[in-house]
Structure 1
Protein backbone atom coordinates (compact mmCIF):
# COMPACT_ATOMS: atom_id res chain seq x y z
CA UNK A 1 0.00 0.00 0.00
CA UNK A 2 1.44 3.37 -1.01
CA UNK A 3 1.60 5.90 1.82
CA UNK A 4 0.67 9.58 1.33
CA UNK A 5 3.52 11.94 2.21
CA UNK A 6 3.00 13.97 5.37
CA UNK A 7 2.78 17.41 3.71
CA UNK A 8 0.32 16.21 1.10
CA UNK A 9 -1.80 14.58 3.80
CA UNK A 10 -2.08 17.77 5.85
CA UNK A 11 -2.84 19.77 2.72
CA UNK A 12 -5.65 17.38 1.87
CA UNK A 13 -7.10 17.60 5.39
CA UNK A 14 -6.99 21.43 5.32
CA UNK A 15 -8.77 21.67 1.98
CA UNK A 16 -11.34 19.14 3.11
CA UNK A 17 -12.03 21.15 6.27
CA UNK A 18 -12.42 24.43 4.36
CA UNK A 19 -14.71 22.79 1.81
CA UNK A 20 -16.87 21.36 4.57
CA UNK A 21 -17.24 24.80 6.16
CA UNK A 22 -18.24 26.25 2.80
CA UNK A 23 -20.83 23.56 2.25
CA UNK A 24 -22.53 24.03 5.63
CA UNK A 25 -24.62 27.08 4.55
CA UNK A 26 -25.72 25.24 1.42
CA UNK A 27 -26.78 22.23 3.45
CA UNK A 28 -28.64 24.47 5.87
CA UNK A 29 -30.44 26.26 3.06
CA UNK A 30 -31.27 22.98 1.33
CA UNK A 31 -33.13 21.91 4.48
CA UNK A 32 -34.42 25.26 5.79
CA UNK A 33 -35.83 26.72 2.57
CA UNK A 34 -38.10 23.73 1.66
CA UNK A 35 -39.29 23.56 5.29
CA UNK A 36 -40.06 27.26 5.28
CA UNK A 37 -41.90 26.91 1.95
CA UNK A 38 -44.11 24.20 3.44
CA UNK A 39 -44.80 26.23 6.64
CA UNK A 40 -45.62 29.47 4.79
CA UNK A 41 -47.98 28.97 1.85
CA UNK A 42 -48.23 31.50 -0.92
CA UNK A 43 -49.90 34.80 -0.07
CA UNK A 44 -52.57 35.92 -2.57
CA UNK A 45 -52.23 39.18 -4.42
CA UNK A 46 -54.10 42.20 -3.07
CA UNK A 47 -57.10 43.20 -5.12
CA UNK A 48 -57.36 46.46 -7.00
CA UNK A 49 -59.80 47.77 -4.38
CA UNK A 50 -57.35 46.67 -1.63
CA UNK A 51 -59.93 46.74 1.19
CA UNK A 52 -61.60 43.49 0.15
CA UNK A 53 -60.40 40.38 -1.67
CA UNK A 54 -63.54 38.34 -2.35
CA UNK A 55 -62.11 35.12 -3.77
CA UNK A 56 -65.13 33.10 -2.61
CA UNK A 57 -67.51 35.64 -4.24
CA UNK A 58 -69.58 36.16 -1.09
CA UNK A 59 -69.89 39.94 -0.89
CA UNK A 60 -72.64 41.97 -2.51
CA UNK A 61 -72.09 45.36 -4.08
CA UNK A 62 -73.72 47.03 -1.08
CA UNK A 63 -71.31 45.37 1.34
CA UNK A 64 -68.32 46.23 -0.82
CA UNK A 65 -69.43 49.86 -0.95
CA UNK A 66 -69.89 49.81 2.84
CA UNK A 67 -66.32 48.54 3.33
CA UNK A 68 -64.93 51.32 1.13
CA UNK A 69 -67.03 53.99 2.88
CA UNK A 70 -65.94 52.93 6.38
CA UNK A 71 -62.29 52.91 5.34
CA UNK A 72 -62.62 56.37 3.81
CA UNK A 73 -63.85 57.66 7.18
CA UNK A 74 -60.95 55.96 9.01
CA UNK A 75 -58.30 57.08 6.53
CA UNK A 76 -57.39 60.29 8.45
CA UNK A 77 -56.45 58.07 11.43
CA UNK A 78 -54.36 55.64 9.36
CA UNK A 79 -56.70 52.75 10.22
CA UNK A 80 -57.63 50.16 7.61
CA UNK A 81 -60.21 47.36 7.73
CA UNK A 82 -59.72 44.61 5.14
CA UNK A 83 -61.88 41.55 4.33
CA UNK A 84 -60.55 38.32 2.76
CA UNK A 85 -62.89 35.51 1.69
CA UNK A 86 -61.62 32.13 0.48
CA UNK A 87 -63.16 28.74 -0.13
CA UNK A 88 -60.55 27.28 2.23
CA UNK A 89 -57.63 28.94 3.99
CA UNK A 90 -54.37 27.18 2.99
CA UNK A 91 -53.50 26.28 6.60
CA UNK A 92 -55.42 24.63 9.42
CA UNK A 93 -55.36 25.26 13.15
CA UNK A 94 -55.92 28.55 14.96
CA UNK A 95 -52.25 29.39 15.54
CA UNK A 96 -51.23 28.54 11.98
CA UNK A 97 -54.06 30.63 10.53
CA UNK A 98 -53.18 33.62 12.71
CA UNK A 99 -49.57 33.45 11.49
CA UNK A 100 -50.72 33.11 7.89
CA UNK A 101 -53.05 36.12 8.13
CA UNK A 102 -50.29 38.18 9.73
CA UNK A 103 -48.08 37.34 6.76
CA UNK A 104 -50.92 38.50 4.48
CA UNK A 105 -51.19 41.77 6.41
CA UNK A 106 -47.44 42.27 6.19
CA UNK A 107 -47.41 41.56 2.47
CA UNK A 108 -50.30 43.90 1.77
CA UNK A 109 -49.06 46.47 4.34
CA UNK A 110 -52.48 46.63 6.01
CA UNK A 111 -52.48 49.55 8.42
CA UNK A 112 -49.32 51.09 7.04
CA UNK A 113 -46.00 51.27 8.85
CA UNK A 114 -47.67 51.61 12.27
CA UNK A 115 -49.69 48.42 11.80
CA UNK A 116 -53.08 50.05 12.35
CA UNK A 117 -54.97 47.41 10.44
CA UNK A 118 -57.62 44.76 10.99
CA UNK A 119 -58.07 41.72 8.73
CA UNK A 120 -61.25 39.61 8.71
CA UNK A 121 -60.89 36.26 6.92
CA UNK A 122 -63.66 33.77 6.05
CA UNK A 123 -63.01 30.12 5.19
CA UNK A 124 -66.32 28.87 3.79
CA UNK A 125 -65.75 25.14 3.17
CA UNK A 126 -64.77 24.36 6.75
CA UNK A 127 -67.11 26.95 8.33
CA UNK A 128 -64.38 29.00 9.95
CA UNK A 129 -63.66 32.70 10.32
CA UNK A 130 -60.96 34.67 12.11
CA UNK A 131 -60.04 38.32 12.72
CA UNK A 132 -56.48 39.54 13.28
CA UNK A 133 -55.43 43.01 14.44
CA UNK A 134 -52.14 44.70 13.60
CA UNK A 135 -49.54 45.82 16.11
CA UNK A 136 -50.91 49.35 16.17
CA UNK A 137 -54.41 48.22 17.21
CA UNK A 138 -53.61 45.41 19.66
CA UNK A 139 -54.03 47.69 22.67
CA UNK A 140 -57.72 48.18 21.79
CA UNK A 141 -58.67 45.18 19.63
CA UNK A 142 -57.69 42.55 22.15
CA UNK A 143 -58.44 38.85 21.71
CA UNK A 144 -61.50 39.13 23.97
CA UNK A 145 -62.90 42.11 22.05
CA UNK A 146 -62.41 40.43 18.68
CA UNK A 147 -64.09 37.25 19.94
CA UNK A 148 -66.99 39.31 21.25
CA UNK A 149 -67.41 41.10 17.92
CA UNK A 150 -67.30 37.86 15.96
CA UNK A 151 -69.78 36.08 18.22
CA UNK A 152 -72.25 38.96 18.26
CA UNK A 153 -72.00 40.33 14.71
CA UNK A 154 -70.83 37.49 12.43
CA UNK A 155 -71.67 34.13 13.98
CA UNK A 156 -75.50 34.16 13.66
CA UNK A 157 -75.50 35.09 9.96
CA UNK A 158 -72.48 32.91 9.17
CA UNK A 159 -74.20 29.83 10.66
CA UNK A 160 -77.28 30.59 8.56
CA UNK A 161 -75.22 30.95 5.38
CA UNK A 162 -75.80 34.71 5.15
CA UNK A 163 -72.11 35.52 4.86
CA UNK A 164 -72.64 38.90 3.25
CA UNK A 165 -74.90 40.16 6.04
CA UNK A 166 -72.50 38.94 8.73
CA UNK A 167 -69.54 40.70 7.13
CA UNK A 168 -71.52 43.93 6.83
CA UNK A 169 -72.48 43.91 10.53
CA UNK A 170 -68.96 43.06 11.65
CA UNK A 171 -67.31 45.83 9.59
CA UNK A 172 -69.83 48.40 10.85
CA UNK A 173 -69.11 47.57 14.51
CA UNK A 174 -65.36 47.23 13.95
CA UNK A 175 -65.29 50.68 12.32
CA UNK A 176 -67.11 52.13 15.32
CA UNK A 177 -64.58 50.57 17.70
CA UNK A 178 -61.70 51.86 15.55
CA UNK A 179 -63.14 55.39 15.68
CA UNK A 180 -63.35 55.15 19.46
CA UNK A 181 -59.74 54.02 19.62
CA UNK A 182 -58.61 56.90 17.36
CA UNK A 183 -60.37 59.49 19.55
CA UNK A 184 -59.10 58.02 22.84
CA UNK A 185 -55.52 57.73 21.61
CA UNK A 186 -55.57 61.32 20.30
CA UNK A 187 -54.05 60.35 16.95
CA UNK A 188 -53.48 63.17 14.49
CA UNK A 189 -55.32 62.94 11.16
CA UNK A 190 -53.03 61.66 8.44
CA UNK A 191 -53.65 60.23 5.03
CA UNK A 192 -53.56 56.44 5.01
CA UNK A 193 -53.05 55.18 1.50
CA UNK A 194 -52.35 51.56 0.74
CA UNK A 195 -48.62 51.14 0.66
CA UNK A 196 -47.21 49.60 -2.52
CA UNK A 197 -46.36 45.97 -2.31
CA UNK A 198 -42.77 45.11 -1.65
CA UNK A 199 -40.93 43.15 -4.20
CA UNK A 200 -39.72 40.17 -2.23
CA UNK A 201 -37.38 39.07 -4.97
CA UNK A 202 -34.92 36.33 -4.15
CA UNK A 203 -34.46 35.78 -0.40
CA UNK A 204 -31.12 36.92 0.99
CA UNK A 205 -30.53 33.47 2.46
CA UNK A 206 -30.85 31.95 -0.99
CA UNK A 207 -28.17 34.29 -2.37
CA UNK A 208 -25.89 33.34 0.54
CA UNK A 209 -26.48 29.66 -0.18
CA UNK A 210 -25.72 30.10 -3.89
CA UNK A 211 -22.53 32.02 -3.12
CA UNK A 212 -21.36 29.45 -0.59
CA UNK A 213 -22.10 26.62 -3.00
CA UNK A 214 -20.14 28.34 -5.79
CA UNK A 215 -17.15 28.86 -3.50
CA UNK A 216 -17.30 25.24 -2.36
CA UNK A 217 -17.38 23.97 -5.95
CA UNK A 218 -14.46 26.25 -6.82
CA UNK A 219 -12.43 24.92 -3.89
CA UNK A 220 -13.10 21.33 -4.90
CA UNK A 221 -12.15 22.05 -8.52
CA UNK A 222 -8.90 23.77 -7.47
CA UNK A 223 -8.05 20.88 -5.20
CA UNK A 224 -8.62 18.27 -7.91
CA UNK A 225 -6.68 20.22 -10.53
CA UNK A 226 -3.77 20.87 -8.18
CA UNK A 227 -3.62 17.17 -7.36
CA UNK A 228 -3.45 16.25 -11.06
CA UNK A 229 -0.82 18.88 -11.80
CA UNK A 230 1.40 17.72 -8.94
CA UNK A 231 1.15 14.11 -10.02
CA UNK A 232 1.79 14.99 -13.66
CA UNK A 233 4.76 17.33 -13.33
CA UNK A 234 6.44 16.20 -10.12
CA UNK A 235 9.90 14.61 -10.73
CA UNK A 236 9.92 10.90 -10.49
CA UNK A 237 12.16 9.45 -7.89
CA UNK A 238 14.63 6.80 -9.11
CA UNK A 239 14.30 3.34 -7.68
CA UNK A 240 17.33 1.04 -7.48
CA UNK A 241 16.20 -2.24 -8.79
CA UNK A 242 19.69 -3.77 -8.39
CA UNK A 243 22.25 -3.50 -5.70
CA UNK A 244 24.56 -0.55 -6.45
CA UNK A 245 28.08 -1.24 -7.52
CA UNK A 246 30.43 -0.39 -4.69
CA UNK A 247 33.94 0.54 -5.70
CA UNK A 248 36.43 -0.11 -2.93
CA UNK A 249 38.60 2.81 -2.01
CA UNK A 250 42.06 3.01 -3.36
CA UNK A 251 44.92 1.98 -1.08
CA UNK A 252 48.64 2.37 -1.12
CA UNK A 253 49.19 -1.04 0.35
CA UNK A 254 50.90 -3.30 -2.15
CA UNK A 255 49.11 -6.47 -2.85
CA UNK A 256 50.90 -9.65 -3.53
CA UNK A 257 50.20 -11.17 -6.88
CA UNK A 258 48.64 -14.53 -6.66
CA UNK A 259 49.59 -15.54 -10.18
CA UNK A 260 51.86 -18.53 -10.47
CA UNK A 261 55.16 -17.52 -11.97
CA UNK A 262 55.86 -18.89 -15.40
CA UNK A 263 59.32 -20.06 -16.12
CA UNK A 264 60.41 -19.33 -19.62
CA UNK A 265 63.54 -21.02 -20.87
CA UNK A 266 65.77 -19.20 -23.17
CA UNK A 267 66.21 -20.58 -26.62
CA UNK A 268 69.93 -20.22 -26.34
CA UNK A 269 71.59 -22.96 -24.65
CA UNK A 270 74.25 -22.13 -22.29
CA UNK A 271 75.73 -23.06 -19.12
CA UNK A 272 74.34 -20.09 -17.28
CA UNK A 273 71.19 -20.14 -15.27
CA UNK A 274 67.86 -19.95 -16.94
CA UNK A 275 65.96 -16.68 -16.99
CA UNK A 276 62.79 -16.56 -15.05
CA UNK A 277 60.08 -14.16 -16.29
CA UNK A 278 57.25 -13.25 -14.07
CA UNK A 279 54.02 -12.51 -15.75
Structure 2
Protein backbone atom coordinates (compact mmCIF):
# COMPACT_ATOMS: atom_id res chain seq x y z
CA UNK A 1 0.00 0.00 0.00
CA UNK A 2 2.84 2.36 0.88
CA UNK A 3 4.60 1.56 -2.38
CA UNK A 4 1.42 2.33 -4.29
CA UNK A 5 1.13 5.72 -2.57
CA UNK A 6 4.75 6.47 -3.37
CA UNK A 7 4.18 5.65 -7.04
CA UNK A 8 1.09 7.85 -7.19
CA UNK A 9 2.97 10.72 -5.58
CA UNK A 10 5.85 10.24 -8.04
CA UNK A 11 3.47 10.29 -11.02
CA UNK A 12 1.75 13.39 -9.66
CA UNK A 13 5.10 15.11 -9.21
CA UNK A 14 6.12 14.16 -12.75
CA UNK A 15 2.87 15.54 -14.15
CA UNK A 16 3.38 18.79 -12.27
CA UNK A 17 6.96 19.00 -13.54
CA UNK A 18 5.82 18.52 -17.16
CA UNK A 19 3.12 21.13 -16.73
CA UNK A 20 5.60 23.63 -15.26
CA UNK A 21 8.07 22.90 -18.05
CA UNK A 22 5.43 23.45 -20.72
CA UNK A 23 4.28 26.67 -19.10
CA UNK A 24 7.84 27.95 -18.81
CA UNK A 25 8.49 27.14 -22.46
CA UNK A 26 5.41 29.09 -23.51
CA UNK A 27 3.43 26.13 -24.86
CA UNK A 28 0.07 27.63 -25.88
CA UNK A 29 -3.25 26.17 -24.89
CA UNK A 30 -5.36 24.57 -27.59
CA UNK A 31 -7.66 27.12 -29.26
CA UNK A 32 -11.38 26.79 -28.66
CA UNK A 33 -13.38 25.63 -31.66
CA UNK A 34 -10.39 25.55 -34.02
CA UNK A 35 -7.41 23.39 -34.89
CA UNK A 36 -5.32 26.35 -36.07
CA UNK A 37 -3.35 28.69 -33.79
CA UNK A 38 -1.77 31.52 -35.77
CA UNK A 39 0.44 33.24 -33.20
CA UNK A 40 2.73 34.62 -35.90
CA UNK A 41 -0.28 36.20 -37.64
CA UNK A 42 0.62 34.94 -41.11
CA UNK A 43 -2.52 33.02 -42.06
CA UNK A 44 -5.80 34.35 -43.38
CA UNK A 45 -9.21 33.51 -41.96
CA UNK A 46 -10.00 31.61 -45.16
CA UNK A 47 -6.98 29.33 -44.67
CA UNK A 48 -7.89 28.65 -41.06
CA UNK A 49 -11.45 27.80 -42.08
CA UNK A 50 -10.17 25.49 -44.81
CA UNK A 51 -8.00 23.51 -42.39
CA UNK A 52 -10.83 23.39 -39.85
CA UNK A 53 -13.27 22.05 -42.45
CA UNK A 54 -10.85 19.30 -43.45
CA UNK A 55 -10.18 18.35 -39.84
CA UNK A 56 -13.87 18.21 -38.94
CA UNK A 57 -14.55 15.95 -41.92
CA UNK A 58 -11.63 13.66 -41.03
CA UNK A 59 -12.58 13.58 -37.36
CA UNK A 60 -16.07 12.43 -38.17
CA UNK A 61 -14.89 9.84 -40.71
CA UNK A 62 -11.88 8.27 -39.00
CA UNK A 63 -10.89 10.33 -35.95
CA UNK A 64 -7.76 11.81 -37.58
CA UNK A 65 -7.02 15.50 -37.07
CA UNK A 66 -4.73 18.05 -38.70
CA UNK A 67 -3.53 20.88 -36.45
CA UNK A 68 -1.49 23.90 -37.56
CA UNK A 69 0.54 26.18 -35.30
CA UNK A 70 2.55 29.24 -36.33
CA UNK A 71 5.01 30.98 -34.02
CA UNK A 72 7.81 33.48 -34.45
CA UNK A 73 10.26 31.48 -32.34
CA UNK A 74 10.18 28.44 -30.08
CA UNK A 75 12.05 30.03 -27.15
CA UNK A 76 14.44 27.76 -25.28
CA UNK A 77 13.00 24.64 -26.89
CA UNK A 78 14.15 23.18 -30.16
CA UNK A 79 11.65 23.04 -32.99
CA UNK A 80 11.21 19.30 -32.49
CA UNK A 81 10.66 19.60 -28.74
CA UNK A 82 8.19 22.44 -29.18
CA UNK A 83 6.16 20.49 -31.74
CA UNK A 84 6.12 17.41 -29.54
CA UNK A 85 4.96 19.29 -26.45
CA UNK A 86 2.19 21.08 -28.35
CA UNK A 87 1.10 17.79 -29.91
CA UNK A 88 1.02 16.08 -26.54
CA UNK A 89 -0.64 18.97 -24.68
CA UNK A 90 -3.39 19.37 -27.28
CA UNK A 91 -3.98 15.64 -27.75
CA UNK A 92 -4.23 15.91 -31.54
CA UNK A 93 -6.11 13.02 -33.12
CA UNK A 94 -8.21 10.21 -31.73
CA UNK A 95 -7.16 9.17 -28.23
CA UNK A 96 -7.20 5.45 -29.02
CA UNK A 97 -5.93 5.59 -32.60
CA UNK A 98 -3.33 8.30 -31.89
CA UNK A 99 -3.68 9.50 -35.48
CA UNK A 100 -3.09 13.22 -35.24
CA UNK A 101 -0.91 15.39 -37.49
CA UNK A 102 0.68 18.64 -36.31
CA UNK A 103 2.29 21.16 -38.65
CA UNK A 104 4.50 23.77 -36.97
CA UNK A 105 5.70 26.88 -38.82
CA UNK A 106 8.54 28.77 -37.13
CA UNK A 107 8.48 32.03 -39.08
CA UNK A 108 11.43 33.72 -37.37
CA UNK A 109 13.71 30.76 -38.04
CA UNK A 110 12.33 30.27 -41.55
CA UNK A 111 11.68 26.61 -40.92
CA UNK A 112 8.85 24.18 -40.36
CA UNK A 113 8.24 20.81 -38.77
CA UNK A 114 5.63 18.07 -38.94
CA UNK A 115 4.94 15.40 -36.35
CA UNK A 116 2.41 12.57 -36.38
CA UNK A 117 1.01 10.17 -33.80
CA UNK A 118 2.23 6.62 -33.45
CA UNK A 119 -0.93 5.36 -35.09
CA UNK A 120 0.25 6.81 -38.40
CA UNK A 121 3.94 5.94 -38.26
CA UNK A 122 3.67 2.93 -40.57
CA UNK A 123 1.69 4.69 -43.28
CA UNK A 124 3.34 8.12 -42.92
CA UNK A 125 7.05 7.38 -42.83
CA UNK A 126 9.56 10.23 -42.44
CA UNK A 127 10.35 10.09 -46.16
CA UNK A 128 6.64 10.25 -47.02
CA UNK A 129 6.11 13.27 -44.78
CA UNK A 130 9.21 14.89 -46.24
CA UNK A 131 7.79 14.47 -49.74
CA UNK A 132 4.43 15.93 -48.70
CA UNK A 133 6.15 18.93 -47.13
CA UNK A 134 8.47 19.54 -50.03
CA UNK A 135 5.91 19.07 -52.77
CA UNK A 136 3.16 21.13 -51.13
CA UNK A 137 4.50 23.47 -48.45
CA UNK A 138 8.07 24.32 -49.44
CA UNK A 139 7.40 26.57 -52.42
CA UNK A 140 4.79 28.73 -50.72
CA UNK A 141 6.79 28.86 -47.47
CA UNK A 142 9.97 29.93 -49.25
CA UNK A 143 8.05 32.69 -51.05
CA UNK A 144 6.41 33.91 -47.86
CA UNK A 145 2.99 32.82 -49.11
CA UNK A 146 2.07 30.83 -46.04
CA UNK A 147 -1.60 30.62 -46.97
CA UNK A 148 -0.77 28.80 -50.19
CA UNK A 149 1.69 26.45 -48.51
CA UNK A 150 -0.52 25.53 -45.58
CA UNK A 151 -3.60 25.09 -47.76
CA UNK A 152 -1.73 22.85 -50.21
CA UNK A 153 -0.17 20.75 -47.45
CA UNK A 154 -3.43 20.37 -45.54
CA UNK A 155 -5.20 19.28 -48.73
CA UNK A 156 -2.49 16.76 -49.58
CA UNK A 157 -2.43 15.38 -46.04
CA UNK A 158 -6.22 15.17 -46.08
CA UNK A 159 -6.09 13.10 -49.27
CA UNK A 160 -3.39 10.88 -47.80
CA UNK A 161 -5.39 10.23 -44.62
CA UNK A 162 -8.49 9.49 -46.70
CA UNK A 163 -6.44 6.91 -48.60
CA UNK A 164 -5.04 5.37 -45.42
CA UNK A 165 -8.46 4.93 -43.82
CA UNK A 166 -10.30 4.35 -47.08
CA UNK A 167 -12.87 7.07 -46.41
CA UNK A 168 -14.38 9.79 -48.56
CA UNK A 169 -15.82 12.48 -46.29
CA UNK A 170 -16.79 14.53 -49.33
CA UNK A 171 -14.97 17.76 -48.49
CA UNK A 172 -13.40 19.27 -51.60
CA UNK A 173 -10.31 20.38 -49.79
CA UNK A 174 -7.66 18.34 -51.50
CA UNK A 175 -7.66 16.33 -54.67
CA UNK A 176 -10.26 13.84 -53.43
CA UNK A 177 -12.67 13.09 -56.23
CA UNK A 178 -10.63 14.98 -58.80
CA UNK A 179 -10.60 13.49 -62.28
CA UNK A 180 -7.95 14.74 -64.71
CA UNK A 181 -9.23 15.86 -68.10
CA UNK A 182 -9.10 13.22 -70.80
CA UNK A 183 -6.91 13.77 -73.80
CA UNK A 184 -8.62 13.80 -77.13
CA UNK A 185 -7.62 11.04 -79.55
CA UNK A 186 -5.56 11.64 -82.67
CA UNK A 187 -7.30 11.91 -86.01
CA UNK A 188 -6.90 9.27 -88.70
CA UNK A 189 -4.74 11.53 -90.86
CA UNK A 190 -2.44 12.42 -88.01
CA UNK A 191 -2.11 8.80 -86.96
CA UNK A 192 -1.21 7.74 -90.51
CA UNK A 193 1.41 10.48 -90.75
CA UNK A 194 2.97 9.41 -87.44
CA UNK A 195 3.16 5.80 -88.63
CA UNK A 196 4.84 6.77 -91.91
CA UNK A 197 7.43 8.97 -90.16
CA UNK A 198 8.13 6.22 -87.62
CA UNK A 199 8.62 3.65 -90.37
CA UNK A 200 11.06 5.94 -92.20
CA UNK A 201 13.06 6.54 -89.04
CA UNK A 202 13.26 2.81 -88.29
CA UNK A 203 14.44 2.14 -91.85
CA UNK A 204 17.14 4.79 -91.57
CA UNK A 205 18.37 3.31 -88.29
CA UNK A 206 18.52 -0.19 -89.76
CA UNK A 207 20.43 0.98 -92.85
CA UNK A 208 22.82 3.07 -90.77
CA UNK A 209 23.52 0.13 -88.46
CA UNK A 210 24.19 -2.20 -91.39
CA UNK A 211 26.62 0.24 -93.00
CA UNK A 212 28.34 1.30 -89.78
CA UNK A 213 28.25 -1.51 -87.21
CA UNK A 214 29.00 -0.37 -83.66
CA UNK A 215 29.89 -2.17 -80.51
CA UNK A 216 27.29 -1.72 -77.77
CA UNK A 217 28.37 -1.11 -74.20
CA UNK A 218 26.40 -0.71 -71.01
CA UNK A 219 25.88 2.85 -69.93
CA UNK A 220 24.20 4.46 -66.95
CA UNK A 221 21.53 7.03 -67.62
CA UNK A 222 20.62 9.85 -65.35
CA UNK A 223 17.31 11.69 -65.38
CA UNK A 224 16.99 15.43 -65.32
CA UNK A 225 14.12 17.60 -64.13
CA UNK A 226 13.14 20.77 -65.91
CA UNK A 227 12.78 23.34 -64.56
CA UNK A 228 15.39 22.40 -61.94
CA UNK A 229 14.05 22.10 -58.41
CA UNK A 230 15.52 24.31 -55.68
CA UNK A 231 17.99 22.78 -53.22
CA UNK A 232 16.10 20.50 -50.88
CA UNK A 233 16.30 21.33 -47.20
CA UNK A 234 16.40 18.41 -44.82
CA UNK A 235 13.65 18.27 -42.23
CA UNK A 236 13.56 15.59 -39.59
CA UNK A 237 10.19 14.43 -38.43
CA UNK A 238 9.76 13.61 -34.79
CA UNK A 239 7.43 10.72 -34.05
CA UNK A 240 5.60 10.66 -30.80
CA UNK A 241 6.94 7.81 -28.62
Report TM bin, short chain. 0.5 to 0.7
Larger radius of gyration: 1
Structure 2 SS opposite 1:78: coil
1:120-159 CA distance string (max 9 Å, x none): 0000011010000011111111111111111111111111
Structure 1: unaligned runs, 5 residues or longer: 1-28, 190-279
Q: Alpha-carbon deviation of 1:84?
A: 0.3
| TM-score (normalizing by structure 1) | 0.50
Aligned partner (choices 99, 109, 112) of residue 81 of structure 2: 99
1:155 and 1:166 in contact (8 A); partners too: yes
Aligned to 1:21: none
Structure 2: unaligned runs, 5 residues or longer: 1-12, 170-241
Structure 2 SS opposite 1:155: helix
Structure 1 SS opposite 2:104: strand
**Distance in structure 1 (CA, Å) of the matches to 2:77 and 2:113:** 12
When residues 35 and 169 of structure 1 are mapped into structure 2, their CA distance, relative to the original with a 3 A threshold, is: closer
Aligned to 1:54: 38
**Distance in structure 2 (CA, Å) of the matches to 1:116 and 1:38:** 25
When residues 92 and 104 of structure 1 are mapped into structure 2, their CA distance, relative to the original with a 3 A threshold, is: closer
**Distance in structure 1 (CA, Å) of the matches to 2:107 and 2:155:** 21
Quick check: 1:90 aligned with 2:75? yes
**Distance in structure 1 (CA, Å) of the matches to 2:39 and 2:112:** 14
**Distance in structure 2 (CA, Å) of the matches to 1:178 and 1:50:** 19
1:184-210 CA distance string (max 9 Å, x none): xxx9x9xxxxxxxxxxxxxxxxxxxxx
When residues 36 and 119 of structure 1 are mapped into structure 2, their CA distance, relative to the original with a 3 A threshold, is: closer
Q: Alpha-carbon deviation of 1:76?
A: 1.9
Aligned to 1:63: 47
